[in-house]
Amino acid sequence: MAFASAVILLCLSGLATYLTIVRLMESEKWRVHTYEVQAALGRVDSAVVDAGRARSAYVITGSPDFSSAFEASVPIINQALQHLRELTADNPEQQQLCSRLEEIMARRIPLFRQSMELKKSASQDQRGQDEISRRGLIEASAMTATMQQMRNEEQRLLAVRARTSRRLFAVAVVVLMVTFILALLMFSVHYRLLIAELDAREDAEHTVRESEKSLRTLTGRLLQLQDEERRRFSRELHDSLGQYLAAVKMNLDMFSDSQPDDKLLREAIQLLDQSIAETRTISHLLHPPLLDEAGFSSAAKWYLEGFAQRSGIAVKMDLAEGVGRLPKSIELALFRVLQESLTNIHRHSGSARAEITLRLFPDQVVLAIRDFGKGISQALLELFRTKGTSVGVGLAGMRERLRELDGQLEIQSKSPGTLISVTLPLSGSDKNAKAAAD
């Protein structure tokens, strides 16, 4: 609103300035018009003076040249009077004076002619010339008075128009100054509001970042607690339930020795063996002991062999030579990604085979899981890349787990199938821990 108000003020100031300048130009035009009227009066006066001089010279000398000059000046006087009437057409008072001037000229020119005719007919009649001169002097005085009135009127109009021009100029300056100051104030308010909005947005973004950081920390903590719970539950299955089942089997074995032909007893022992094996498998899947004891490579090989047997999916393993031990956090993250990826392949891809590749570089480790099934849709893939959503909780969990370790999860659509690539950096401390473990 402040910005819009400033723009509106500037537009209004522009409009007001335009109107003021238009009126100022009009006023200047009228000032120029006044000068034109004064110049026209000067031309009338000059033409009359020329005619009077030509008449006087003819009376003195009787030369026809002066008579011709007089006749030539008469049309000039008429043209000058006509031009003066046209210039004063907007002023009734000046029109009246202009009419009076024309009447005077209508009497004065015939007097000039009469004087010249008298020169032709009675060149020695000085008395007649004096009488004509006396009458001409009266008309000249009336003409001078009339023209002076017209000049005074134009001078008055010039003063009024000059004052109007100065006033309009002052109004234009004041309008420009006021609107400019108001526009500056509006822009200043707009700037302050914009700064306040940017500060509020920055605070909101900071709050969002802090919330996201807290959420990631919470997610990492939940994943850590989940791993600890799996480890504890795996140990409980192995140490508690597994031991109980083993003791029951020992008792049934001893009892079967005394009842070798009991079919139901043999079936019970077989079911118990399957329960013990299943319990051990579940325990190892929750948290394989090999992961803590021998590292990712050994745990991955054991898991892949068991997965191939359980799912019927042929798994090709290509693990880098001399991987050795990695930091525990990286080994756990790689194993959980491997578990989740293979579970997705078994559930969703419909692939009959899979390929697992592990590559170790000086500064990072890369795990790639490829299947040859129906693949992932491009829409879901794009949504995962932009927002990380709508592709299942498992992949989102993998992504958060890797993010805690500054790793990256990339999903690519192949033809056929899908490729999941995991990249985890090895920091200086991670390399030292790996060397110590090796």
Q: 293-437 in CATH: which number?
A: 3.30.565.10
Q: Helix and strand tally (H, E) in the chain?
A: 12, 5
Whole-number pLDDT of residue 137: 86
Question: What are the domain boundaries of the chain?
Answer: 2-191, 293-437
Q: Are 338 and 369 in contact (CB under 8 A)?
A: yes
Whole-number pLDDT of residue 433: 46
Instruction: Name the region of 163 (left: φ>0; alpha: ψ -120 to 50; beta: rest).
Output: alpha
What's the Cα-to-Cα distance from 415 to each of 31, 273, 379, rounded to whole Å? 89, 43, 16
Q: Which helix (H) or strand (E) holds 366?
A: strand 364-371
| Burial zone of 318 (CB within 10 Å; 0-12 exposed, 13-18 middle, 19+ buried) | exposed
Whole-number pLDDT of residue 239: 55
Q: Are 315 and 307 in contact (CB under 8 A)?
A: yes
Q: Are 380 and 348 in contact (CB under 8 A)?
A: no
How far apart CA 218 and CA 222 sit, in angstroms, is 6
Architecture of the structural domain at 2-191: Up-down Bundle (1.20)
For 363, list phi and psi in degrees, rounded to 5.
-115, 0
Beta-carbon contacts of residue 270 (< 8 Å; ≥ 6 apart): none
pLDDT tens-place values along the chain, 438 residues long: 766 776 777 777 777 777 777 777 777 787 788 888 888 888 888 888 888 888 888 888 888 888 888 888 889 988 988 988 888 888 888 888 888 888 988 888 888 888 888 887 776 677 887 888 888 888 888 888 988 888 888 888 878 877 877 787 787 778 778 777 877 787 787 788 888 888 999 888 888 877 766 666 665 566 566 656 666 665 655 556 656 666 666 766 666 666 666 667 667 767 766 676 666 566 555 666 666 777 878 888 887 888 888 778 888 888 777 677 788 888 888 888 888 888 888 887 788 888 888 888 888 888 898 888 887 777 676 766 665 554 555 677 777 777 778 888 888 887 788 888 888 888 754 444 454 444
How far apart CA 216 and CA 400 sit, in angstroms, is 7
Whole-number pLDDT of residue 431: 47
